[in-house]
Structure 1
Amino acid sequence: MDRMPKIAVIMDENTSSGGGRYDTSKNYFSAIHRAGAFAFGIPYIPDLVDQVVEEFDGFLSVGGRINFPKDWYVDGDQSQYPPSDRLAVDMALMEGFLARDKPVLGICNGMQMLGCLNGCRMVSDVHSSWPEALNHDQANVSHDVRIVAGTRMAEIFGADTFAVNTFHREAIVEVSGAVTVTARASDGVVEAIEIGSQSFAMGLQWHPELLDAESHPGARVFDAFVEAASRRSR
Structure 2
Amino acid sequence: MPTYRPIIAIVSCHKMVDGQPAQAVYQKYIDAVHFYGGNPILLPNTAAESDNFDALIAIAEGILLTGSYSNVAPARYGASHIEEKQDLGRDELSFKLLAHAEKAGTPLLAVCRGLQEMNVYFDGSLHPDWREVEGFYEPHLEDNTQPLEVQYQPVHDVIIQPEGRLAAFGEKWHVNSLHKQAINEVGKGLFVEARAPDGLVEAISLIKHPFMIGVQWHPELNYAQDDLSKFLFKEFIHYASKKHGS
TM-score by length of 2: 0.85
Q: RMSD between aligned alpha carbons?
A: 2.3
Structure 2 CA distance, aligned partners of 1:17 and 1:183? 39
Note closer, same or farther for the CA distance 1:212–1:39 as it changes in structure 2 (3 Å cut).
closer
What are the ranges of 5 or more consecutive residues in structure 1 without an aligned counterpart?
none
CA contact (8 A) 1:9 1:40 kept: yes
1:110 and 2:114 correspond: yes
2:32–2:223 contact (8 Å) kept in structure 1: no
CA distance in 2, matches of 1:18, 1:86: 20
Q: Aligned residue for 1:180?
A: 191
Map 1:52-71 onto structure 2 (within 5 A). 52-64=56-68, 65-71=70-76
User: Aligned letter for 1:146?
Assistant: I
How many angstroms apart in 1 are the aligned matches of 2:76 and 2:95? 15
- Which residue type is aligned with residue 232 of structure 1? K
Bigger Cα displacement from structure 2, 199-208 vs 79-88: 79-88
1:98 matched to 2:102? The reply is yes
Q: State the Cα distance separating 1:231 from its structure 2 match.
A: 0.4
In the alignment, structure 1 residue 143 sits paired with structure 2 residue 148: no
Shift of 1:49: 2.9
Q: Is the 8 A contact 1:103 1:228 kept in 2?
A: yes
Contact kept in structure 2, 1:13 and 1:19, CA below 8 Å: no
Range 202-211 or range 77-86, more displaced: 77-86
Pick closer, same or farther for the CA change 1:76–1:21 going to 2, 3 Å: closer
Per the alignment, do residues 126 and 16 of structure 1 end up closer, same or farther by CA in structure 2, a change over 3 Å counting? Answer: farther
Aligned counterpart in structure 2 of residue 51 of structure 1, from 51, 55, 69: 55
**Residue 88 of structure 1, aligned match among 85, 92, 102:** 92
Q: Which moved more, 1:186-195 or 1:130-139?
A: 130-139
| Residue matched to 2:174 | 163
Equivalent residue, structure 2, for 1:72: 77
Query: What SS does structure 1 have at the residue aligned with 2:55?
Result: helix
Q: Which string of whole-angstrom CA distances, capped at 9 and with x for unpartnered residues, describes residues 96-142 of structure 1?
A: 12211111111000011111111211111001123543341202452
1:197 aligned partner? 208
Structure 2 Cα separation of the partners of residues 15 and 99 of structure 1: 34
1:128 matches 2:117: no
> Equivalent pairs: percent with the same residue?
26
> What residue is the counterpart of 2:34 in the other structure?
33
Deviation at 1:82, TM superposition (A): 2.6
Number of equivalences = 231
Q: SS of 1:194's equivalent?
A: strand
Once structures 1 and 2 are overlaid, which stretch shifts more, 141-150 or 191-200?
Answer: 141-150
**Distance of 1:111 and 1:62 partners within structure 2:** 9
